[in-house]
Amino acid sequence: MKSRVVILSGGIGGAKLALGLYRTLPADALTVVVNTGDDFRHLGLAISPDIDTLVYTLADLADPQRGWGRRDETWSFMAALSTLGGPQWFQLGDGDLAMHVERTRRLADGETLSAVTADIARRLGVRATVLPMSDAPVRTRLRTDAGWLDFQDYFVGRRCEPAVSEIRFDGAADATAAPGVLAALADPDLRAVVIAPSNPYVSIDPILAVPGLRDALADTAAPIVAVSPLIGGAAVKGPTAKMMRELGATASAAEVARRYAGLIDGFVVDTVDADAELPGGIRRIVAPTLMTSLEDRERLGRTVLASAQTCPRTRPATGRGT
């Protein structure tokens, strides 16, 4: 049987399923292609929130309550920064700071984001391959009723409160996929491609906006299965449902599937959405998708892999590849 699996992922929700797959598969069989549209500069530091969430999660260093940052964290830096009058809106734990400072230093020394990420993941004992979608800066920007906002300003600074009317990915048109991304999708040993239950608009779309990614997905011989980020019309975490409504769509698993029509072969919906009507050609897989425990993550990982095996390839190819 083919052995390798690629997952396209944003932060928290995607990291949960990535961990489930990582623990289910042989350790080196998983490749995670991570959204970097959320990346930004703060306090002069290069911060890659989704990469960090993935690396911390796979390294078993993630904080289980907050969903971001490191477990057993201390907060002396933020306390001292407060007394100095520094910005407080983005929380940086003391141990987490090492990630940002070291990455910033190495990027300034001329290393690529993918090289730094690979080395840091390796040092933290992660045997999965964690790839940024691109080494070039792609920045998610949101047009809202408060004007155009950088992603972190919207997401953290304003707690997703402004209504979103348009989303763009600055730099995407000039970006290229990071080394290893297209090769992972073209690998003849590829068993499945998984689209994580991440926000389609601001976690998955930025990845798909990198030139070459959509074609590589169309051309891969492996089945592509997405997992719904919505359960009964609500997101487990984050603004997916709110954003869908603001953009004029229905907040439902079926609507997410429609966004992925032509791209995927199978779609996993939660048991509460067992009746969701999916676009023709997309196979519906019904399974519990709420990942509360580690066992939930592993079970959903196994379900996704098993269902991929049974998905007939239905999506159109570019006709250029494979």
Positions touching a copy of itself (CB under 8 A) are 43-45, 70, 73-74, 76-81, 83-86, 93-99, 101-102, 104-105, 108, 119-120, 123-124
Smallest gap, in angstroms, from Cβ of residue 98 to a copy of itself?
A: 4
Q: Which is nearer to a copy of itself, 86 or 321 (CB)?
A: 86
CB 223 within 8 A of CB 192: yes
CB 14 within 8 A of CB 292: no
Q: Which is nearer to a copy of itself, 78 or 272 (CB)?
A: 78
CB 190 within 8 A of CB 184: yes
Smallest gap, in angstroms, from Cβ of residue 92 to a copy of itself?
A: 9
Q: Which is nearer to a copy of itself, 87 or 321 (CB)?
A: 87
Smallest gap, in angstroms, from Cβ of residue 58 to a copy of itself?
A: 14
Containing 139, the helix (H) or strand (E) segment is strand 139-144
Smallest gap, in angstroms, from Cβ of residue 74 to a copy of itself?
A: 4
Q: Which is nearer to a copy of itself, 61 or 204 (CB)?
A: 61
CA distance to 46, 104, 113, 117, 316, per residue, from 36 (Å): 11, 15, 10, 12, 27
- 118/54 Cα distance (integer angstroms): 12
Closest CA to 209 of 19, 36, 90: 36
- 243/205 Cα distance (integer angstroms): 13
Smallest gap, in angstroms, from Cβ of residue 111 to a copy of itself?
A: 12
Q: Which is nearer to a copy of itself, 26 or 86 (CB)?
A: 86
